[in-house]
């Protein structure tokens, strides 16, 4: 489960945190000026604390889904992400309720250039960082379990057609005991 998928976070995800100067309440309930989007300190304060608390509750194996075919020029793992700044440093590393393993699921968008694979570029740094916290690290490129999710928006992509053929054969085996 992601932080954004928790009940509390879904109620505030996407909101702009607009302050109101010279007001005892501190919030402007009537309007939100567009320049409030420049006040990232408010978003950072809320989501930073939420991310820290979320990470402190994680136990056992945790999963991190990253994009290996970003089109914005960024690498898959960024030092300035909420995960890097607030979650990874606050994963419990001792005691019986600790994080034992970080599983990175690196997805590549169908019909888009692969920018980075497991064991490359920013993922080398992430692996070193995770291991410095005494947490086991595993990275998997395009796990089968998630390929269908990636293809849901682009069934005609070359990778998705192949996945569909394999899935069809497996489904036929399950239904008919043989592949048609």
pLDDT band, very low/low/confident/very high, at 27 (cuts 50, 70, 90): low
pLDDT band at 176, cuts 50/70/90? confident
Query: In sequence order, what are the residues at sequence separation of 6 or more whose Cβ sits closer than 8 angstroms to the Cβ of residue 57?
Result: none
2 assigned to some structural domain:
no
Is 52 found in the same domain as 135? Answer: yes
* C-alpha atoms less than 13 angstroms from C-alpha of 15 in its C-beta half-sphere: 17
Q: What is the dihedral of CA 126, 130, 131, 135, to 10 degrees?
A: -150
Q: Looking at per-residue confidence, does 62 or 171 come out higher? A: 62
Residue 172: predicted pLDDT: 72
Q: What does pTM read for this prediction?
A: 0.77
CATH of the domain at 56: 3.40.50.720
pLDDT band at 47 (very low <50, low <70, confident <90, very high): confident
Please check whether residue 77 lies inside any domain of the structure: yes
Sheet with strand 136-141: strands edge to edge: 60-67, 99-107, 136-141
> What percent of the chain is modeled with pLDDT above 70?
81
DSSP code string of 47-68: HHHHHHHHHHT--EEEEEEEET
Position 78 scores a pLDDT of: 96
What is the average per-residue pLDDT within 48-57? Answer: 93
CA dist 145 and 158 (Å) reads 18
**pLDDT reading at 30 higher than 90:** no
Q: Is residue 175 part of a domain?
A: yes
Give the per-residue pLDDT at 149: 75
Q: Please check the confidence at residue 61 and state whether its pLDDT lies above 90.
A: yes
Q: What is the pLDDT of residue 40?
A: 66
What residue numbers bound the domain in which 55 lies? 40-142
Both 159 and 122 in a single domain?
no
CA distance 177 to 112: 36
The tokens for 81 are 């992400």
Query: At residue 34, does pLDDT exceed 60?
Result: no
pLDDT of residue 139: 98
């Amino acid at each position: 489960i992601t932080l954004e998928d928790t009940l509390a976070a879904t109620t505030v995800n996407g909101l702009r945190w607009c302050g109101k100067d010279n007001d005892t309440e501190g919030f402007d309930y009537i309007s939100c000026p567009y320049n409030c989007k420049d006040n990232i300190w408010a978003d950072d304060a809320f989501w930073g604390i939420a991310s820290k608390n979320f990470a402190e509750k994680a136990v056992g194996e945790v999963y991190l889904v990253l994009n290996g075919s970003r089109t914005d020029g960024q690498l898959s793992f960024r030092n300035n992400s909420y995960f890097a700044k607030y979650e990874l440093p606050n994963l419990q590393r001792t005691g019986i309720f600790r994080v034992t393993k970080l599983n990175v699921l690196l997805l590549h968008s169908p019909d888009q250039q692969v920018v980075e694979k497991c064991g490359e570029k920013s993922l080398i740094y992430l692996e070193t960082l995770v291991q410095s916290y005494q947490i086991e690290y595993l990275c998997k490129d395009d796990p089968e379990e998630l390929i269908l999710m990636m293809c849901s928006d682009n069934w005609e992509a070359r990778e998705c057609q192949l996945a569909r053929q394999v899935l069809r054969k497996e489904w036929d085996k399950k239904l008919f005991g043989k592949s048609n």
